[in-house]
Each structure stands twice: as structure tokens, then as C-alpha cells.
Structure 1
Amino acid sequence: MTRHEEHGDAEIRVRRRSRTLRIAGLTLATALVLATATAGYAYWHLNHNITSVDINSALGDDRPAPAPAPSASSAAAPLPSGPLNILVLGSDSRSGEADKELGGGDSEGARSDTAMVVHIDAGRTAATVVSIPRDTLVTRPSCPLPSGGTTAVAYGSMFNSAFSVGGPVCAVKTVESVTGVRMDHFVEIDFAGFARLVDALGGVDVTTGQDIDDDKSHLHLKAGPHHLDGKQALALARTRHGIGDGSDLGRIGLQQLLVKALLEQISGTDLLTDPAKLYQVADAVTASITTDTGLDSLAELTSLGKSLKGLSADHVKTVMMPVVQAPSDPNRVIAKEPDAQDLWESLRR
């Protein structure tokens, strides 16, 4: 082969490599653009999933004092570390039809069968979850209504009526009136969305201490360990007729068992190594919650989540507000004093 021919072959190889590199570069650039666009849409979608209520503006200053502000050194930390109180309600008000298919009641109206005050200690390495029985008789304060005006004060009213009458704002005001504890945040979890979350996590493992046979919640379990899907986990959170005396108090025990099991499931799932599963879980969470305006963005929820990275399920204590049978109605309860106030006082320290 002559030098001229060798030189020609070399030029052809260079052109081919150049063309290959250009194609690879265009392919990579296209992939990066698509990935960026996909990530941007995913963030937008998750952000717009969240529904919020401006509770602070609705309630104004007639509330318990907030927790003391962190010291200067704590305030300089990249993540918040002060104590936090969050009212968590379980409700079927955002997707009644889906809830009905999952074993709930009729799809009309806004109902809250689960109420928990989640207190996170300063440092955010320990937490106490206090369940408030829905059948507790309380004095429901006058609450502002979204349409204008206010509700009347109601004496001897069932605790969960606050949500039915005045929505999240009245639920928060009633809890603060009963406890004397300022609620820093509010989270309402839709029951149907809760089932989606459990499914997105791959189910949850629980161990029941007795047989559960409840046709109303469509749950039938023998005592012992079980791996539950979303529908079964939701039924476990709602069942009461198949356990104990059929009251709300027995159901609270199962809800607390489920809370601990879910925390263990989440902490044991490395979502960061599985982007598809992470998105599925995030979509289930954001689509199923209503929050106050302090938690109504993906950035704020992410910041809260990061601040709780040192909190393990082993350091989460679940309790129920101390109650006794109401003198006026054997099917209702009232706060047991001074035990109940002692509990709330411990959360104000």
C-alpha cells in the first residue's frame, strides 16, 4: 500500500471516529435534556400533588405559645433541630369513593377516625405519638369557617366532630384547646392514599396479639406475624368490631402497632438507591396529604424529613391520652385528670 493510500485510510478512520463521537455526544446531550425534563416534571408533579390550608392566618394569635426558639448555635445549623408538634389526622374526605372500595363507609362527608399528636423532642432523635380517641367528649371551641362566620361553642361534643364541622382549622383549634399545646404543623392523610403508600413500600410486617375477625372492615387475621398489603393495612388501622369490646380504644392499639411497623419499614428501605421506587413512594405521600402552609412544598417536606434522619423507630413512643368512661354516656370517654394534663405538660417542656 502506498503512502497516499495509507493517508487516505487514516483520514476515513478519523472521519468515522469524529462522526461516532458526534453521534454519542448528541445522544448523551439528548439523554441529559430528557432526564432533566423528566426530573423537572417529576418535581413539579409532586409539588402540585400537595393540598394545603393556611391555619396560622385562620387562627391568628389566640393560641398556645409556640415552643421556645432554638439557641443561636442551633439556629446556625443547616437543618431545623427544635422541638415540633404535628397534628396528624386520618381522613377519607379527599377520596371517598376510593375509601369506600377499601372497606370504608359511605363516601359523603369529611370524617376523621384517627387523631395523633406527634411530639418530636429537641434534637429530633426521639418522639412521642399521642392518640386521642375520637369518642372523647370535649368542649369544641368556636372556630372560623372558610365561608365566613364562626361555629358556636359546643359542650360535651365528640372530639372528631371538630373536623366534620370546621375542617382542619377547627381540628387544630380543638386540639390546642384540649391540650394547651401549640400545633406547629398539621397533616391530614387520606385513607385511600395511605393504602397506596403501603403498597409503594412493598407492604408492611406486623404481628397481631389476637385473632381479628371483622366483616365490617373486611379483615380476617389469625394471631401472629403477617405481611400486609395496602388494603389490609388500612383495614387494620380502621378495624374495631373484631377486637376487644369493639370500642375505639382497641383500634388505637392497632393503629399504634401499625405506626411503629411503618417506621421500621421505611427505615429499612433504601429508597435512595431505587429512584423509581422513591418516586412511587413520594407520589403516594404527596397525593394523599393535606398540610398547613408550612409544609406545602416538596422542599419543606424534604427539609423536615432530613431533620428526622436521626430518629429511629426504637425511639418513638406511642401512648394514648388517658381517658375514663363518660358519666353521661357509657359509649363515650372523657379525659382522665390529672393524668391527661400531666401528659400534655410533658410535651410543653
Structure 2
Amino acid sequence: MTRSGVQEEGTRPGDAPGRPGAGDEGRPGGGPSADGDDGSGRPGGRGRRALRWSATTLAVLILGTAGAGYLYYEHLNGNIEKGERSSGDSKARRTGPNAAGQTPLNILLIGSDSRASDANVALGGSRDNRGNPPLGDVQMLIHLAADRESAAVVSVPRDTRVDIPRCTDPVSGETHPATNDIINTSLSRGGAGCTLATWENLTGVYVDHWMTIDFAGVVTMADAVGGVEVCVNQNVWDRPLPGVPGGSGLKLEAGTTKVEGEQALQWLRTRHAWGSDILRTRAQRMYMNSMIRTLRDQNVFTDTGRLTDLAEAATESLKVSEEIGSVKDLYDLGMQLRTVPPDRITMTTLPTVEDPQNRNHLLPAGADAERLWALLRDDVPFDDKGGKAGAGDRTGKGGGPSAAEGGASSKAPAAKDPSAPDAEIGVLVRNATRSATLGPVGGRAGAVARVLAGKGFTRAAPDTAAASASAEERTVVRYPGAALRGDAERVATSLGIPAGSVRQSADVTGVTVVVGADWREGTTYPKQAPPRAGDLPEDADALNGAETGTCMDVYKPYRW
């Protein structure tokens, strides 16, 4: 099999309706992106994400079961490459257990565009980028509900501009200062551990583990699965056209086809033939659903030879965070993932808007993005099929108050030390009311500081040194270390801010109230509506894991 069959994509068809022109901004300094995207600012860079997610899911399903003895078990362990879980400053805390003692599980999946090997260069093109620090062009979070009865998948487009925290590269020891940049650059600023910290700060969700896979790993895993069925309504050939170079090389006849290896990678990288980036993500999710069904239908556990091949491919293709760096750990993780039926898996994309600073980049879409994160933080199902509460319901009967209401899920373990008297607590108030769509509200830091002073916190003051462009979708109270946690909780209580929004952070030197876009007016923190099961933003483009019978329409210039 010749891996060079996967070609670099070029610009999208200029005459296709509703699509902006080209201009590659996908990688710093321009040049072709990892998946051949033109960086046009729509959700490009989603190519291959479905295969990477599915390959990783396969890996955790099969690991630990193929060894016939100790030596083989150790061999598989030796295949697994490991790295530290977090290499950046993070503000997230673990979610507390529900009434049954269960907690959610969050796994970050990263597709690296590394060209560190001949195989990756052949598959990914862009030979001029060989040796450059890898970018995390595909990033997806799997959220496994505390009760293990549902799962949610959220992807963030690679060109989404976010705050990246200070990170220390675990290999070189180099420390990178905090910055505001597109999210795929986080991988080059401290490895997967930096990307994990970036996600935690973006979402407020504690991420338990990360896994990464590169081009060659994608193809290896696709071959190991033995093929996945995809469907097109017309003959498709994603090829260069006059004025539109590149293309994935995908060529299929109309109807259902089983694709594997490079052809699977071509399917997931195709954009031109579908007509838009949004339609490409739908093709990727269709592949994802088909992969899930394929794995469930295969009886691989009775076929020792095939199971051995799968285990070898999985352990050689993945790099994982060190706390799950053994066959046993991955097997245990896989057993948890297996409990979720396909019809309770919901796959989504972060709602985004065009970045006003650069039309080729994106920003999280304000309230819609926050709605998605609130569902994850409160462990509320992305579908409405379960009828059960998330981790926040301590009664076990459902319907309990959410973190947004200051309910059980918002309650972190009580501080060991009581707070100081109110008048002795120093508090800085920072204005971060700017959002993706709205400018900052002038004077908010001073107004909230005066509210605190009126409540007896006489040392409260606005943070005049804070950047005027600070932005937080959700109001939080931060503190630098355990000694001030009780003080921070006391301040939050006085303002009506839920305890789940009190977080430790290396970015502050004292108790700091960060007034977010959710509190743009008034002297009392507004009561937040609790997230409801299945209440997803329309632009999250949700797709159910059990969906069948759908085929992709082919954009006319790419039919044959």
C-alpha cells in the first residue's frame, strides 16, 4: 500500500456559494496546514478527527485482552509512549461524586500534525514543515457521564483563538508565557499537557487524561479495524480542478463502500467534494458512527490473531498521559467506555463566530459556547433520553439543583481553614465582561468592588493593572493557594457566586473576583438558569451515535 496516495488539499472552489476565499492562516506564518486546509476561517482542520477519535476508542476497547502471557503483556506495555498529564497552569477542579459515589470521566483526544517521520511526511504532505513543532490540529473532548449511561463528544476547530496558559515543555524544560492564540498552537508550547491545561481553562472542566495520534497512527488503526462503511449519493472524486489545487484523492462510486487505511483518511480529509467545511464535519461524524457500530458488531475477542493485531496497532499508534500508561489502565478505561450504547453518544462542535481580528480565525460563540460547557461541568446529558440527573444530583432521584443555582454539583469540599474576618480579606475585582460578540462594560470592576465594600469587605478594590481586553464568559473567584481558599469561598458566598466557580489559579496573587460576560449589570450576581438535558445550541450541530442510513451529497464539480 502506498501512503502517498493522500494528497494535500488546496483552496476551496471559488464559485461554491457561501464560502469565503482562501488564505492559509492554519499554521503560524502561513503555509499549508496539516490537513491541506486553506485556513479559510470556517471549521477547517476537522479533517481526520473522526478517525482519530474512533481509533482511540478502539484502542481503549481492546488493550489488555490480547496478551497470552506476561512477556507479551510487557511487550504491549513497552509499545505505549507516555507523557505528563498537565504541563500548564490550570484552574479546573475535579467534579465531586454524585449520590452513588460516581464521577464523570473526561478524555482529551489530540490529532498531531507531526512530520517527524517519513511515514508522516508521505501522508501529510508539507515536507517543508518536517522538524517543526507539531500542532494539535484535531482536538476533541470525550465526556463520559458519571452514571456511565451517556457520553458527549465536543470538538474545537483548530483555528479557534483562546487563552493559552503558561506552559513548561516537559522535554526541553522551556517555559512559554501565557498567550492568546489559536488553540492548535498549544501542542507546540508544552506538549499535550499544555493543550489539556488550555482546555481546562477554556471550559472549567477537569480533564482526566489525554491521548494523541499522528498521521501514520491513523492509517495503522484504520487498517487494523478492517474497514468502515461510508456512503455517497453520487460518484465522488476529490481532485485538483482548474484554479482549485489539491484535494484528498478520494474516489468512490455512488452507494456504500467499505474504506480502510489511506482511503479512510481520504474520506475524513475531503472538503471540496462535499462543498463546505460544515459538510465535511458531517462526513466525519457519519464515519464515526459507522466505526462505533463496526466495533460493536465485530466479535474480535474470540479471534486471537486478529485481536493481537489490533492490540499491536493500538499500543504502537498512541501516546497517552502517564497515569493511563499501561495496558491494564487502558483496558479499565475501555471497559467504562464500552458501557455507553451508541444511541446515547452525542457528537458536537463548539459553536463559534468569526474572529473580528482575523476572518480566518474563530472565537467561541459567547452564550452558546458557555451553554455547552455548562452541560459538561454539571454532567447533564447532551440528549434527553435518560431522564436521570448528572453528577450534580446528590439525591439519586433526578431534578436536583444545578451548579448554576448553587446546588449540590457546585459544592466543592469545604475549606479546611475558616476564612478571615471580612474586613481583613484583600479582594481585587477584575473587569472581564468582554465576550466574543460584545465589548467590555466600563466601570464594572469598580461597581462590584463597591458592592463588596458595602458588605464589609473594606479592602476590596478594582484591579487597575488588569488588561482592559480581559474576557471571561462566566464570573469566577480565583485564589493563589490553599491558604486563601476559605477567603475566596467567603467572598463568592457574599456575592451569590456558586462555589463551583471558585478556583485555584497561578495567575493571581490574592483573592480575585473576575466579573465575566454573564454579569454585565446589577449589584447581585444573576441567577443562572440550570442546564437541561438535551438543551444544546443549534449551531453545535449535534449528531447521534446510532444514526444510520445517511449518505453524503457530492458537490457537482467533483462528480464523475
After TM superposition, is the score higher than 0.5?
A: yes
**2:306 aligned with 1:277:** yes
Aligned to 1:85: 106
Aligned to 2:179: 154
- Separation in structure 2 between the aligned mates of residue 164 and residue 255 of structure 1, nearest angstrom: 25
- Separation in structure 2 between the aligned mates of residue 318 and residue 269 of structure 1, nearest angstrom: 22
Residue type of the partner of 1:171? T
Preserved CA contact (<8 Å) 2:203 2:373: yes
Q: CA deviation at 1:64?
A: 0.4
Aligned to 2:83: 53
Q: How does 1:25-174 map to 2 (within 5 A)?
A: 39-56=69-86, 58-59=87-88, 62-69=90-97, 74=101, 82-93=103-114, 96-106=117-127, 107-109=130-132, 110-146=134-170, 147-155=172-180, 157-174=181-198
The structure with the greater share of residues assigned to strand is 1
Which range is displaced more, 86-95 or 269-278?
Answer: 86-95
Cα pair distance change 1:343/1:223, threshold 3 Å: farther
Alignment deviations for residues 130-184 of structure 1 (CA, whole Å, 9 cap, x no partner): 11100111122221222234212222x1110111232112111111121111111
**2:237 aligned with 1:206:** no
Q: CA deviation at 1:44?
A: 1.5
Alignment deviations for residues 83-103 of structure 1 (CA, whole Å, 9 cap, x no partner): 111110112438642123335
Q: CA deviation at 1:256?
A: 2.4
Q: CA deviation at 1:212?
A: 5.6
- Separation in structure 1 between the aligned mates of residue 279 and residue 125 of structure 2, nearest angstrom: 18
Residue type of the partner of 2:315? T
Residue type of the partner of 1:83? P
Task: Please tell me the root mean square deviation across aligned C-alpha atoms, in Å.
Answer: 2.4
- Separation in structure 2 between the aligned mates of residue 282 and residue 168 of structure 1, nearest angstrom: 23
- Separation in structure 1 between the aligned mates of residue 157 and residue 293 of structure 2, nearest angstrom: 24
Residue type of the partner of 2:178? V
Cα pair distance change 1:217/1:166, threshold 3 Å: farther
Preserved CA contact (<8 Å) 1:82 1:124: no
* Structure 2, gaps ≥5 residues long: 1-66, 240-245, 379-560
Report the secondary structure of 1:207's partner residue.
strand
- Separation in structure 1 between the aligned mates of residue 232 and residue 185 of structure 2, nearest angstrom: 30
* Structure 1, gaps ≥5 residues long: 1-36, 75-80
Q: How does 1:296-315 map to 2 (within 5 A)?
A: 296-315=325-344
Q: CA deviation at 1:243?
A: 3.1
Report the secondary structure of 1:160's partner residue.
helix
Residue type of the partner of 1:131? S
Aligned to 1:185: 209
Cα pair distance change 1:347/1:328, threshold 3 Å: same
Cα pair distance change 1:209/1:164, threshold 3 Å: farther
Preserved CA contact (<8 Å) 2:113 2:135: yes
Aligned to 1:263: 292
Cα pair distance change 1:205/1:95, threshold 3 Å: farther
- Separation in structure 2 between the aligned mates of residue 135 and residue 208 of structure 1, nearest angstrom: 28
Cα pair distance change 1:178/1:135, threshold 3 Å: same
Preserved CA contact (<8 Å) 2:135 2:186: no
Preserved CA contact (<8 Å) 1:95 1:192: no
Aligned to 2:549: none
Report the secondary structure of 2:167's partner residue.
coil
- Separation in structure 1 between the aligned mates of residue 316 and residue 304 of structure 2, nearest angstrom: 18
Q: CA deviation at 1:238?
A: 2.6
Report the secondary structure of 1:305's partner residue.
helix
Alignment deviations for residues 264-309 of structure 1 (CA, whole Å, 9 cap, x no partner): 1111111111011111111111111111112110000111111223
- Separation in structure 2 between the aligned mates of residue 167 and residue 145 of structure 1, nearest angstrom: 6
Aligned to 1:338: 367
Q: CA deviation at 1:105?
A: 3.2
TM-score by length of 2: 0.51
Residue type of the partner of 2:335? K
Preserved CA contact (<8 Å) 2:292 2:342: yes
Report the secondary structure of 1:232's partner residue.
helix
Cα pair distance change 1:339/1:122, threshold 3 Å: same
Q: How does 1:245-260 map to 2 (within 5 A)?
A: 245=276, 247=277, 249-260=278-289
Aligned to 1:295: 324
Aligned to 2:267: 236
- Separation in structure 1 between the aligned mates of residue 255 and residue 368 of structure 2, nearest angstrom: 33
Structure 1 segments (4+ residues) deviating >6 Å: none
Alignment deviations for residues 170-226 of structure 1 (CA, whole Å, 9 cap, x no partner): 111111121111111101122211211121121111224674614432223455422
Which range is displaced more, 108-117 or 94-103?
Answer: 94-103
Report the secondary structure of 2:218's partner residue.
helix
Q: CA deviation at 1:311?
A: 1.4
Cα pair distance change 1:52/1:70, threshold 3 Å: farther
Which range is displaced more, 213-222 or 167-176?
Answer: 213-222
The structure with the greater share of residues assigned to helix is 1
Cα pair distance change 1:135/1:282, threshold 3 Å: same
Report the secondary structure of 1:338's partner residue.
helix
* Fraction of identical pairs, as percent: 35
